[in-house]
Amino acid sequence: DTEVTQTPKHLVMGMTNKKSLKCEQHMGHRAMYWYKQKAKKPPELMFVYSYEKLSINESVPSRFSPECPNSSLLNLHLHALQPEDSALYLCASSQGTLPEAFFGQGTRLTVV
Amino acid sequence: GESVGLHLPTLSVQEGDNSIINCAYSNSASDYFIWYKQESGKGPQFIIDIRSNMDKRQGQRVTVLLNKTVKHLSLQIAATQPGDSAVYFCAENLGGSQGNLIFGKGTKLSVKP
């Protein structure tokens, strides 16, 4: 299995809602990432988990809360988002000894 | 030819021609570089990588060239096909074993049949 699976593929949420994005990989990778990508822009790193511990938080607002329940799963909990948070949210994983990252297909998030 | 519009730079090539996509990276300490292909509605897909101790690496129909003196990376695609149409991003690893990748702005490649 060489895939990173993200659910849901699309999500529409109101500014007062709480929702979660999920990511799963079964490649034995020990590093997992969340990226945010706006239209026609490159992906921007949000969080890095290494061996299930948060190792990088790129000054992301607290309305985004990551969670790594185990080495195969990564969640992104969303609360009180703003319309400008609408974007494609990408999950990725890597072996940790190699920075090459495998990406999922992303969750297209729309905040209304 | 290559044009820079309001958004992504675009490169238009004829099917069968070779394509060259360029990227300038920012950090002279970066030790690893990756080219990704991103098709519409999909996540980035790994194409080829190169370490900073190399200046050229070849894959199947693709070649990456690294010039550390001017901090420049290029991706050459031989015999470009319509399926190569996508946005191409270079990414640099700022160091360390974690994938702290910083992506370049991207180039949209359009292949005309």
Percent of chain A with pLDDT over 70: 96
Phi, psi of B84 (to 5 degrees): -80, -10
- pLDDT tens readout for residues A6-22: 999 999 999 999 999 99
Chain B residue closest in CA terms to A32: B99
Question: What DSSP state is assigned to residue B71?
Answer: T
- pLDDT tens readout for residues B60-88: 999 999 999 999 999 999 999 999 999 99
In angstroms, rounded to a whole number, what is the distance separating the alpha carbons of residues B24 and B84?
A: 21
C-beta of residue A92 within 8 angstroms of C-beta of residue B99: yes
pLDDT at residue B4 in the model: 40
Nearest CB to A45 within list B89, B97, B100: B100
| Angstrom distances, CA of residue B53 to CA of A12, B30, B48 | 45, 11, 15
pLDDT at residue B2 in the model: 44
Mean local confidence (pLDDT), A54-66? 92
Question: What DSSP state is assigned to residue A84?
Answer: G
Contacts of B95 (CB under 8 A, 6+ apart): B29, B30, B31
pLDDT at residue B8 in the model: 81
In angstroms, rounded to a whole number, what is the distance separating the alpha carbons of residues A101 and B55?
A: 21
* Selected residue with higher pLDDT from B96 and A36: A36
Question: What DSSP state is assigned to residue A86?
Answer: -
Tokens in use for A81? 């988002």
Nearest CB to B101 within list A40, A99, A105: A99
Within 8 A of B102 by CB-CB distance, chain A residues are: 45
Tokens in use for A6? 């993200």
Q: How many beta-carbon pairs below 8 A join chains A and B?
A: 67
* B103 HSE (CA, 13 A, CB side): 25
In angstroms, rounded to a whole number, what is the distance separating the alpha carbons of residues B83 and B1?
A: 19
The yes-or-no verdict on residue B3 having pLDDT over 80 is no
What confidence tier does A65 reach under pLDDT thresholds 50, 70, 90? very high
Contacts of B23 (CB under 8 A, 6+ apart): B72, B73, B74, B75, B90, B104, B107
Mean model confidence pLDDT for chain A: 93
Mean local confidence (pLDDT), B43-48? 95
What confidence tier does A99 reach under pLDDT thresholds 50, 70, 90? confident
Mean local confidence (pLDDT), A100-110? 93
Measured in residues, chain A has a length of 112
Nearest CB to B97 within list A33, A96, A103: A96
Count helices and strands in chain A by DSSP H and E runs? 0, 11
pLDDT at residue B17 in the model: 97
According to DSSP, the residues that pair with B93 across neighbouring strands are: B32, B101
In angstroms, rounded to a whole number, what is the distance separating the alpha carbons of residues B49 and B92?
A: 10
pLDDT at residue B5 in the model: 40
The yes-or-no verdict on residue B1 having pLDDT over 50 is no
